[in-house]
Amino acid sequence: MAHNIRCLVTGVTGYIGGRLVPCLLEKGYQVRVLSRDTSRLQGRPWIDDVEVVEADVLQPQTLSKAFKSIDVAYYLIHSMSGNNSSGFHSRDLQAAQNFSKVAENEGVDRIIYLGGLGDPEDDLSEHLASRQKTGQVLHDSNVSVTEFRAAIVVGSGSKSFEMIRYLTERVPIMICPSWVYSKVQPIAIRDVLQYLVSVLEKPETKDEIIEIGGSSVINYADMMRIYAQINELKRILIPVPILSPTLSSHWVHWMTPVPASLARPLIEGLKNDVIVKDDKAQQLFPEINPISYEKAVELAMVRINTEDVETTWSDALISSKGNEQPVILKSKQGLNIERRIREVNTEPQQVYDTFSSLGGEKGWLTYNWAWKLRGIFDRLVGGVGFRRGRRHPTELRVGDALDFWRVEAIKPGKLLRLRAEMKVPGRAWLEFQSIPNEDNNGTKLIQTAYFAPKGLLGLLYWYSLYPLHALIFSSMIDHIADEAAKAK
């Protein structure tokens, strides 16, 4: 069914936005997506069905083109980083102000915003308060706003759910601070998406704040216990009166793929009860019957176990070095290049399939202990570490997290370039290419490490680790070539 409503969706490299786009397309809506780095959208199955605009909400002069002829704009942007808490709060407010002002100037009919649950009369954490103040900035414009407020979103790949999942799976006996007994009303990702799509056909929801949640009101301890029961795990939770958010975030940092910088704002918000206080959602959306937490977990586990995870929290720019744009690599002074070449007696596609399946559960074919040790060192200094794995065992797309790398460029069957997100004194990349030989007999496998050192420390880092890198990278390209040839 075709609709005349033209939608602008932001946050499409993130968890919610990346899943909303195909839902809107399925219902027949016209969709334009906004991203400050459109190269990260390569490989999305819906990319050919949407209009793509590159713009940055923190640079209002870039936004007008995104709003031309748009009826409804989804604001699904949220910058969350514990490294500079005052910074993320001010950026959120400035971004919302820029967005709503340009939307007003361009005649947009409505903004739809997904914020956070929490009683504004409580002493809300900075994270939750920021979500609600962002909504207020949007409401202050002359554009109608529909603001949804939700607590934890449960789905394969969501940040909060991944925290619960990894903590429960990896820690059989857990020392629990008082926040695990705060009340929460988690909601399944499928229900969030249903609200976000259904609202387009309900003009009566304009200028409303609508609290949404699942059918279960529980606490965080219950969430872990229920997850354990569903997955047939025996877990013991031991309550303690005090465990600071800082200590808790570092615990999460080591036990899950979520770094402390992102975990701390979430954990600080767990002191607040986040439950639905009114029945407005039920009155306005009687056709939506949110499922229970148990059912949401079961559905998420089906996705995870069948390796059918559509988006993950680590897709978002904020989960990496979000202010860095991809770099176009050139051979020039100051860029160290380490290149290796092997001839492989098989087709280029087979070689590409081999190196594009590296990482995650499969590992890196050689010296996996060294890769894991590097990840441990990275966690020690506050980096992303090695636990993010990969979204899918064989499929990659631009923007995917891959252990402590980020997929920066892909040419299917030909090239894969990874940008390092571990802590290094400079910037680093690892690139693989599969090039057919001129006589079309076999493939040239090219593996290149690039490093742009920052100052003297960067040069010392490069040359001190070169012998180890030479050993590991030489072994890795040999193993890639061997595995590709065997799979012929």
Judged by DSSP in three states, 380 sits in helix
Average per-residue pLDDT in the chain?
Answer: 84
Note the pLDDT of residue 328.
Answer: 35
- Residues 10-23 have a mean pLDDT of 90
Which residues in 126-149 are b (16+ Cβ under 10 Å) and which e? bbbbbbbbbbebbbebebbbbbbb
pLDDT greater at residue 283 or residue 263: 283
Contact 386, 372 (CB under 8 A): yes
pLDDT greater than 80 at residue 263: no
Note the pLDDT of residue 326.
Answer: 37
Residue 397 one-letter amino acid: R
Length of the chain, in residues: 488
Contact 449, 430 (CB under 8 A): yes
pLDDT digits (tens, 9 = 90+) for 149-159: 999 899 887 77
Residue 477 phi/psi, 5-degree rounding, is -65, -35
- Both tokens assigned to 45: 């199955």
Which residues is 449 bridged to in the sheet? 338, 430
Cα-to-chain-centroid distance, residue 357: 20
- Residues 294-300 have a mean pLDDT of 91
Note the pLDDT of residue 245.
Answer: 62
Residue 175 phi/psi, 5-degree rounding, is -85, 120
pLDDT digits (tens, 9 = 90+) for 320-349: 444 444 333 333 445 778 888 888 989 999
Note the pLDDT of residue 456.
Answer: 72
Note the pLDDT of residue 255.
Answer: 65
Alpha-carbon distance of 212 to 256, in angstroms, equals 27
Q: Give the torsion through C-alpha atoms of 334, 338, 341, 347, to 10 deg.
A: -80
Domains of the chain: 6-317 (3.40.50.720), 326-486 (3.30.530.20)
**310 closest CA partner among 39, 5, 10, 17:** 17
pTM above 0.85, yes or no: no
Note the pLDDT of residue 279.
Answer: 92
Which residues in 87-120 are b (16+ Cβ under 10 Å) and which e? ebbebbeebbbbbbbbbeebebebbbbbbbbbee
Judged by DSSP in three states, 282 sits in helix
pLDDT digits (tens, 9 = 90+) for 420-474: 988 888 888 999 999 988 667 789 999 988 887 876 787 788 778 877 887 888 8
Alpha-carbon distance of 82 to 95, in angstroms, equals 18
pLDDT digits (tens, 9 = 90+) for 464-476: 887 788 788 888 9
Alpha-carbon distance of 119 to 121, in angstroms, equals 5
Note the pLDDT of residue 80.
Answer: 55
pLDDT greater than 90 at residue 205: yes
Alpha-carbon distance of 204 to 299, in angstroms, equals 32
pLDDT greater than 50 at residue 383: yes
Per-residue three-class SS string for 404-446: CEEEEEEECCCEEEEEECCCCCEEEEEEEEEEECCCCCCEEEE
Q: In the structure, what pLDDT confidence band is assigned to residue 118 with cuts at 50, 70 and 90?
A: confident
Winning range, highest mean pLDDT, from 83-87, 153-157, 159-163, 357-361:
357-361
Residue that is written with structure tokens 């252990």 in the block: 403
pLDDT greater than 50 at residue 161: yes
